[in-house]
Amino acid sequence: MTATVEEVWAALEDLADPEIPVISLRELGILREVRTGADGLEVVITPTYSGCPAMGQIEDDVRSTLKNRGISARVVTQLAPAWTTDWMSEAGKEKLRAYGIAPPHQTPAGSSVVRFISKPAKTEAVPCPHCGSSNTLVSSHFGSTACKALYKCQDCQEPFDYFKPY
């Protein structure tokens, strides 16, 4: 069957991220585009984090979801422009918070390597997703996955993950 671009979007609308199942691939900004290429429909996805073990799973999930609906489309991985947490929808960020992961802040504009390391972003507090307190401390810049940092709330004492801005 020949599906339309809209039908492909509709089929993939609720497809969840394998690592954070409360948020969809579309809300994460991983599904970039559905287009008609020379050989038919193409679904463009972009890798989130280099070496993220979920990436292969995501591609498989997109493929099998389309196949189950009888839609034939090619999955294309596109590197540029590089994925940024700024593409995450507001609704998606809210779902992350409700799930217990502090959503990423806006990425700082044009920060060079030297400025990035010598001036850690102390100005932007990461609010605790459990109690909402801004009195939190970073425990480790790498948490349960490489894309998250581990924080601790000084008020409710709960540890939590912060999705780092990229």
DSSP-derived pairing of the beta strands 101-102 and 31-37: unpaired
Q: How far is the CB of 83 from another protein (least distance, A)?
A: 7
Choose, by CB under 8 A, the member of 79, 90, 109, 123 that binds another protein: 79
Residue 105 tokens, joined: 């802040």
- Report how far apart the first and last C-alpha atoms of the chain are (Å, whole number): 39
In angstroms, give the least distance from the CB of 79 to another protein. Answer: 4
Reading across the β-sheet that carries 40-45, which strands appear in turn?
31-37, 40-45, 73-77
Q: Is 50 in the site for another protein (CB under 8 A)?
A: yes
Q: With binding defined as CB under 8 A, does residue 112 bind another protein?
A: yes
State which residue, 84 or 133, has the beta carbon closest to another protein.
Answer: 84
3-state secondary structure of 96: helix
3-class secondary-structure state, position 161: strand
In the complex, which residues of this chain contact another protein (CB under 8 A)?
A: 47, 49-50, 79-84, 107, 112-114, 116-118, 120, 140-142, 146, 149, 164, 166
